[in-house]
Chains A and B, each alone.
Chain A
Amino acid sequence: MIKKSDISITTWILIAFSIINIIFLATGKLEFNAKGIGIITAVAITLAMYSFLYKDNPVFKIAENLFVGVAMGYSLIIIWYNILKPDVFEALIVPMFKDTVIGPQYSVIVPTILGLFMFLRFSTKLSWLSRWSFAFIVGMGSGIAIPNFINAILLRQLEPMFAPLYTGSFWGTVNTLLVLVGVVSVLFYFFFSLEHKGAIGGVSVIGVWFLMIAFGASFGYTVMARMSLLIGRMQFLLKDWLGIIQ
C-alpha cells in the first residue's frame, strides 16, 4: 500500500538527486558526456536498489526488474558474438554461401542440430527430441567426471592424510593429528546409514565440533565478503559521483 508520505519522500529525494546532478554537470564536476551521464545513471540505479533498506517500494522493484531484463539481454548478445557467430555462423553457414579460405566445418552440424533440439523442449509434440540433447550432455559430463574426480579430488585429498604424522615439530604433529581426527570424525558424522550411538556417536560429536568451527569461520568470511561489496559501492558513491574522497 503506497502512502502519501512515501510519495512525498520519493518526490523530495528525486528533486534533491536532480539538483545535485544538475549542479555537478553545470560546475564541470561531472562531464556532460556518456561517462558523466553514465555515472548519474549508475548512481540512480544504486540508490534505487538501496531504497529497499527503508522498505520495499516501486522504485526498487522497477530497478530490480530492469536489471533482470538487461542482464538476460546482455547474456544473449554475448552468446551470439562469442559462441554462435564464430562457432556456428562463420564456421558452417557463411562458408556454404561465400568463398572463404577454410571451407565449411561440417563437424559443427551435429552439435547445431542437437542444440536446436533443445529448443523443442517447449513444444508439446516434439519435446522428446530435446531429451537426446540433454542425454548427450549429461552422459558425457558423467563419463568425464568419474575418473577425473576420483583422481583429482578423492585420491589427491586422501594423499596428505597418509603422510607421516610426525612432521619434525611438536605443534606440527599435533596439527596433523587434529586434521586426521577432524576428517575422520566429520566423515563419520555424515554417514547416516549407521545410527549415531555409542562409539560412532562419540566420534560424530567430535565431527560436529569441527563442523561448527568451520561454519563459524565461514560465517566470519561471509561477513567479510558482504561488507566488501558494500565498501565497494560506497567508494563508488563517494569517489566517482560525489568526489569527496580521493
Chain B
Amino acid sequence: MEKLLKIDRRIIFIFVALAVTIPLLFSFKMSVPPTRHVISMYDKIDSLSKGSHVLMSFDYDPSSKEELQPMARALLHHCFKKDIKVIGMTLYPAGTGLAEKAITEIGDEYGKRSGIDYVFLGFKAGSSLVILNMGEDIYTAFQKDFYGKKTAGMQALKGVSSLRDIDYAVNLTAGGIYEAWIVYGKEKYNFDLGVGCTAVMGPEMYPFIQSKQLTGFLGGLKGAAEYETLVGHKDRASAGMAPQSVVHVLVVCFILFGNFIYFATGRKK
C-alpha cells in the first residue's frame, strides 16, 4: 500500500496524458450549457446595434493562449456577425501577434477591412497610464495603428474620441490588468466592461460582478466553450470540454485515492 504513495510521478503523467488524449481521439461530444455570467456578456454585446464600437484589449501572451485565444475568436465572431466595429489593442508586447492573428483571421471570414470595419491599434506600455490616456483622448494614446496608419480620421474610429464614447469594452487578460481597466477605465470613464480571463483568475471576478462593476465574465476554456455555444460557432474550446471533464475526474480520483492510502497506512501504524 505504501509503495502506491511513492509511485514514480511519470506514471501519473502518463495517466494525465491519456486522460486528455483519449477523449480527443474519440471525439466525445458534451453539451456546454451557458452559465449566467457568460450569458450576461453575450446579451450585452447582442444588444448593441450595427456600427457600435466594442473595444477589445488582448492583454495576454502565449502562455495563456490556449484559454484566451478561443475566447477572443468567439467574441470576434459575435461582433463581426453583428457588424459591430472592433477596436483592438493590447497592453502586453507578446499579445500583439496573437491579437493581430485573431482579428485579421476572423475579420477576413466576414469580409471586414482594417481601418474601416475594425482597427488594431497595437501595443503601448504603461498599463494604467494607457487606459487613462485613452480615457481622455484615444488619438493621443494611439497616433497610429499597428500598421503605421494614422488613426485620426479613420472610419473604424468615427464617433469615438475617447473611452467615454465606446459602447462596450472587453478585457481579455491573464494577469491583474483587469483591475486597472475597472479602476482607471470603467469607474472613471463610465463604460460597460466585461472580462475574459484564465480560469485561475475566475474566482477573483465575483466581487466585481456583485458590485456591478463587470457586466459578466468568461472564465477559462469552459467560458470560451459556453460563448462558442451561444454564438453558434463551436471550435476548439467546445472540443476541449470532454478531455477537461475526464481529467478533472482523474484529479479528483487522485486526491481521494491518495488520501485513502494515506489514512489506511496511517491507521496501520
Contact = CB atoms under 8 A, between A and B. Distances in A.
A218 B220 CA distance: 13
Contact of A83 (B66, B125, B211): B125
Given A221-B219, A231-B244, A160 B211 contact: yes
B96 to A, nearest CB: 5
Interface in B45-66: 63-66
A140 B247 CA distance: 47
A160 B210 contact: yes
B122 interface: yes
A229 interface: yes
Given A157-B207, A224-B248, A227-B247, A152 B187 contact: yes
A60 to B, nearest CB: 14
B240 A228 contact: yes
Interface stretch (B21-29, B36-44, B104-112, B153-161): B21-29
A235 B24 contact: yes
B93 interface: yes
B20 A231 contact: yes
Contacts of B177: none
B221 A231 contact: yes
A153 B184 CA distance: 11
Interface residues of B, number: 57
B231 interface: no
B115 to A, nearest CB: 16
Interface in B216-262: 219-222, 236, 239-240, 243-244, 247-248, 251
Contacts of B125: 79, 83
B96 A228 contact: no
Contacts of A244: 25
Contacts of A224: 199, 220-222, 244, 248
Interface stretch (A23-31, A70-78, A119-127, A199-207): A70-78
A144 interface: yes
A178 to B, nearest CB: 13
Contacts of A140: 129
A243 to B, nearest CB: 12
A218 B10 CA distance: 26
Nearest to A235: B236
Given A156-B211, A214-B203, A231-B243, A86 B67 contact: no
Contacts of B124: 82-83
A54 interface: yes
Interface centre among A141, A214, A221, by most chain B C-beta atoms within 10 angstroms, is A221
A245 B132 CA distance: 46
A245 B96 contact: no
B143 interface: yes
A75 B16 CA distance: 34
Interface string A177-214: 00000000000000000000000000000000000001
A40 interface: no
A99 interface: no
Contacts of A141: 128
A235 B25 contact: no
A144 B21 contact: no
A157 B240 CA distance: 35
A135 interface: no
A246 B146 CA distance: 34
A234 B21 contact: yes
A224 B220 CA distance: 8
Contacts of B119: none
Nearest to B186: A152
Given A221-B219, A234-B24, A74 B200 contact: no
A74 B93 contact: yes
A225 B199 contact: yes
B146 to A, nearest CB: 7
A156 B213 contact: yes
30 contacts: A75-B93, A78-B94, A81-B146, A82-B93, A82-B122, A82-B123, A83-B124, A83-B125, A86-B144, A144-B128, A148-B183, A152-B182, A152-B186, A159-B211, A218-B200, A221-B199, A222-B199, A224-B222, A225-B199, A228-B66, A228-B67, A228-B240, A228-B244, A231-B20, A231-B221, A232-B65, A233-B66, A234-B20, A245-B25, A245-B239
Given A232-B67, A235-B240, 12 more contacts: A74-B97, A79-B93, A82-B122, A86-B148, A144-B184, A152-B186, A221-B220, A227-B20, A228-B66, A228-B220, A234-B20, A234-B21
Closest 9 CB pairs of A and B: A232-B66, A225-B199, A228-B221, A152-B187, A152-B183, A224-B199, A75-B93, A78-B93, A82-B123
